[in-house]
């Protein structure tokens, strides 16, 4: 059993909770309150900024040039293409670039991004890859799950979101990172694999919190 198969089996309950979360099911059915989704895309934009820093650190810590280049290309794509696409997508919901830039970061967004940055700075490269896997693979898993149920044709912007995360390009990205995590785990000690598992499970919990935050439109209590 590979590392990814093992941790997914270990986290099966949480993965199913995410797939059944009302934010996710609302996208799939096209019934999610648009204000909740607008909150999500604004927070996701802020998350992408921290995520880009993590990709830069991943490239710097990579064990060889091929892996370094892969993370560098993903960083370039994220900063120079994906974030612009994100702005364009937000504009379809009536969210301007200025509004995006002025969005206050929510507690869960800050906590998740800070966790990934801390992992990138202070932990091993295999742990970092494991910590990134719930985001990369998780979005593909969610998209694939919703696509199998059928696109909500009456909600074209939600259809577009599902199609983004089931595209051939995104699927290839998710599978590459999954394979990298599996390859790295074979070179780790038992303790090292345990640390990778901990990083994966922590990030997966944050993924759940991100959906929950978006559904509840979380703000600072004071």
Q: What is the pLDDT of residues 50-97, one digit of tens each?
A: 999 999 999 999 999 999 999 999 999 999 888 888 888 888 888 988
- Which run of H or E residues covers position 24? helix 22-29
Closest CA to 38 of 105, 101, 102, 95: 95
pLDDT score, position 83: 86
The confidence score (pLDDT) of residue 183 equals 97
| Mean pLDDT in residue range 187-192 | 96
Residue 207 designated active-site: yes
Q: Across all residues in the chain, what is the average pLDDT?
A: 95
Q: Which residues contact 123 (CB under 8 A, 6 or more apart)?
A: 131, 195, 199
Any catalytic annotation for residue 135? yes
pLDDT at 97: 87
- Mean pLDDT on 38-46: 95
* Domain 3-216 classification at class level: mainly alpha
pLDDT of residue 159: 96
pLDDT confidence of residue 102: 92
Span 198-219, pLDDT tens digits: 999 999 999 999 999 999 999 9
pLDDT digits (tens, 9 = 90+) for 91-145: 888 898 898 989 999 999 999 999 999 999 999 999 999 999 999 999 999 999 9
pTM of the model: 0.95
Instruction: Name which of 101, 61, 103, 58 is nearest 83 in CA terms.
Output: 101
Share of the chain above pLDDT 70, in %: 100
Closest of 116, 134, 122 to residue 46, by C-alpha: 116
Q: Which of 102, 207, 212, 218 is catalytic?
A: 207
pLDDT at 181: 98
Ramachandran category for residue 210: left, alpha or beta (phi over 0 → left; psi -120 to 50 → alpha):
alpha
Catalytic residue among 8, 135, 169, 198: 135
Q: How far, in Å, are 17, 50, 77 from residue 97 at the CA level?
A: 33, 18, 19
pLDDT of residue 125: 98
């Amino acid at each position: 059993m590979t590392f990814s198969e093992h941790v997914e089996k270990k986290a099966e309950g949480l993965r199913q909770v995410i797939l059944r979360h009302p934010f996710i099911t609302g996208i799939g059915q096209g019934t999610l309150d648009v204000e909740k989704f607008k909150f999500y895309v604004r927070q996701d934009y802020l998350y992408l900024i921290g995520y880009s820093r993590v990709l830069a650190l991943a490239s710097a810590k990579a064990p060889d040039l091929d892996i370094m280049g892969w993370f560098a290309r993903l960083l370039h794509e994220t900063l120079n293409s994906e974030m612009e696409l994100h702005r364009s997508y937000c504009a379809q919901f009536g969210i301007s670039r200025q509004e995006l830039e002025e969005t206050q970061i929510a507690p869960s967004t800050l906590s998740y991004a800070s966790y990934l940055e801390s992992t990138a700075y202070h932990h091993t490269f295999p742990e970092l890859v494991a910590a990134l896997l719930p985001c990369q693979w998780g979005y593909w898993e969610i998209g694939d799950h919703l696509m199998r149920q059928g696109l909500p044709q009456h909600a074209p912007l939600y259809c577009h979101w599902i199609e983004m995360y089931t595209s051939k390009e995104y699927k290839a990205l998710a599978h590459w990172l999954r394979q990298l995590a599996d390859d790295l785990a074979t070179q780790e000690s038992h303790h090292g694999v345990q640390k990778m598992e901990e990083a994966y499970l922590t990030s997966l919990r944050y993924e759940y919190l991100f959906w929950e935050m978006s559904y509840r439109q979380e703000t600072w209590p004071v």
